[in-house]
Amino acid sequence: MTDRYRGFTATPIGSFLVKNLGLPQPTKLERYAAGAPLVDGTVLVGGRGRLAESLPGLLDGLGITAVNIAPAETRLKGLVLDATGLTSSSELGALRDFFTPLMRSLHSCARVVVLGTPPEQVAGAERIAQRALEGFTRSLGKEIGRGSTVQLVYVADGAEAAVASTLGFLLSPKSAYVSGQVVRVGAHGGGVGDVGEVADPLRPLEGKTALVTGASRGIGEQIARVLHRDGATVVGVDVPQAASELQQLTSELDGDWLTLDITNRDAPQRIAQHLATKHSGVDVVVHNAGITRDKKLANMDDSRWDSVIAVNLTAPELITRELLDQGLVHRHGSIVGVASIAGIAGNVGQTNYAASKAGVIGLVDSLADELDDGITINAVAPGFIITQMTAAVPFATREVGQRLNAMSQGGLPVDVAETVAWYAHPGSSLVNGNVVRVCGQMMLGA
């Protein structure tokens, strides 16, 4: 499962042709390797606001080299601007003043993060200025190029101490295929400043139990592997037909497994009983299992519609409710739904699938303000991810899907997995109610 076009553009003749024909020239993305530093280079911080003074020390605590003044001739790996102090549109020029002189000083695969205040928590001219940050960051993400990314993090007043896990993710190669996103920290539920502690930064999930549905292959397999890398004991769930692959994976990861059809009436109770008796509960719940049964609505029969809704949406609803009702999700636990760009932008022939994935986002919206004990619920929305399933897509459709984003390439299952691991991090206990697209910043519809 390789991107042959990107490989071709890296050759001398390929590079010559794409430059002269004006074709996309994707950059090979840097991805995180276990044990590597979060940032291999220097991050420049600036701005004025609630986080400006604490940023250098916060990044230093993550092992990230941060400076307030760019050393001469130094190529920067990241930029962080505290824009929480912008209170009117007349002050938005600070964005240009900070970024314009620095854009040509960035390495490839650099990271840019703007910090703001949730617009819904302020009023008047300040609300206008803070909302403007979204247009700025989304546009910069589409023009920065060379595998670099741009994000906006809205930090609620009082949640300043809870941004470390988010900055660690967004400034590192873990967020390789995430760009143009808006993240809210402390905007939904939870106690302000109530952040889970981590003894070992390289294994933040040590001693935690993670449930992953659809774990035997593809994105689910990578989610299981990354959560295991971060220290979790993984309980994989999949259909009986995938039992062999599931057992092999969980054996390799020193985990546990359970085979069942998650749409069965007793599935939520069986999962809950398994977690209660064998693991004394669960810390991370990842609703990854999903199916497609594509047809245009005019040709959609009952079975295609019902099966997709049942697997992709109803099962996560019922399993989540059962685990919560039984009190099996531990304090600072994390519930993660795997949605899709289709649920945001729609897709021809996928009214059933898009409805189910939009419903996953609805599940996040419905529970984000109801959960207590620091439990969070968030969703990832993958775009074109290179898997065995997408490898079967017709060539022309596959090429368009991979190129129609700011990075001109498809993502990998590990990109989704790293985003899930960020949500699951104990330090992300104020990252709640978010839907982050893992799509290379699609050009249309999102």
Exposure string of 95-109, with b = 16+ CB inside 10 Å and e = fewer, is beebbeebbeebbeb
R_g (Cα) of the chain, nearest Å: 22
- Quote the CA–CA distance of 182 and 151 in Å, as a whole number: 6
CB 326 within 8 A of CB 366: no
Name the residue among 313, 340, 337, 308 with its Cα closest to residue 446. Answer: 340
For tokens 């959960």, the residue is 371
Extract the tokens encoding 290: 């999903």
Is residue 177 among the annotated active site residues? no
- Quote the CA–CA distance of 409 and 213 in Å, as a whole number: 27
Coil vs helix vs strand at 299: helix
Residue type for 194, please?
A: D
Coil vs helix vs strand at 233: strand
**Phi/psi-derived region of residue 327, left when phi > 0, alpha when psi is between -120 and 50, beta in every other case:** left
CA distances from 249 to 61, 211, 242, 257, 352 (A): 34, 14, 11, 9, 31
- Adjacency order of strands within the sheet including 282-287: 256-259, 233-238, 209-213, 282-287, 329-338, 376-382, 435-438
Per annotation, catalytic residue among 32, 154, 353, 423: 353
Which DSSP category does 241 fall into? G
Give me the active site residues, please: 353
